[in-house]
Amino acid sequence: MSFIKNLFGKKKKPFRASCDISKEPIEKGFGYLLTTVQVVSSKKFWDNVMTEPETMSYTVSHFKQNDEMATKMRFMIFEKHSTVDKPWMVSDSYIHLFDVDKKEARDNANKWWEQEGAFSPDAIGKAEDMMESGQYEEIKKYAVMEAGRERVA
C-alpha cells in the first residue's frame, strides 16, 4: 500500500520564494528578510520604484507637467508599498537599496526559509502603524513629491 501511495499520492510542492521587489526567484537559503518600515524608509528604494518602466510616465508628468493625476498615482504607489503588513523577501540584487544590518536580515531570511514563510521579524506591520508620525510623513513626502527627480530633471 505504501508503494502505491508514494506512486500516486499527492506530493508536497517544494517551498519557493521570489523577491518582493523584482519578482525574481530566490533560491532556498538566499535573500534578506526586511520589514515594511525598513523598505519604505529607503530613499534609494523610492527612487528605484518611481523610475521603473511602469511608473516612469507618472514621474515625468509629475515633475515636467505638474500633473495632479500623476501625483495622485505616485501617492497610490506609495500607499501600496507602505501598507504591506508582512515581511519582505529581498534578493541579493536589490539589498543595496537598503541601509540595514545585512547579517540580521540574512539571519531572519534563514529563519523564514526554515519555517517555510511562517517567520516574521519583530516590528512587522504597515509603515504608518510602526513609524513615528513625523518620520512617516517625511518619507511619504519624499516618495510622492521628490523620488526620481534626478532621473527626470
* Contact predicate 104/150, CB 8 Å: no
Query: Vertex 128, ends 112 and 52: CA angle to 5°?
Result: 70
Q: Which pLDDT score, from 0 to 100, does residue 14 have?
A: 82
Closest CA to 35 of 92, 79, 101: 101
Tens of pLDDT along the chain (153 residues) come to 555 556 566 677 788 999 999 999 999 999 999 999 999 999 999 999 999 999 999 999 999 999 999 999 999 999 999 999 999 999 999 999 999 999 999 999 999 999 999 999 999 999 999 999 999 999 999 999 999 999 987
Strands (E), the chain: 17-18, 25-26, 32-34, 88-90
Phi-psi bin for 29: left (phi > 0), alpha (psi -120 to 50), beta?
Answer: left
| Nearest-angstrom CA–CA distance, 147 and 49 | 8
Q: Which pLDDT score, from 0 to 100, does residue 67 have?
A: 96
Q: Which pLDDT score, from 0 to 100, does residue 6 have?
A: 60
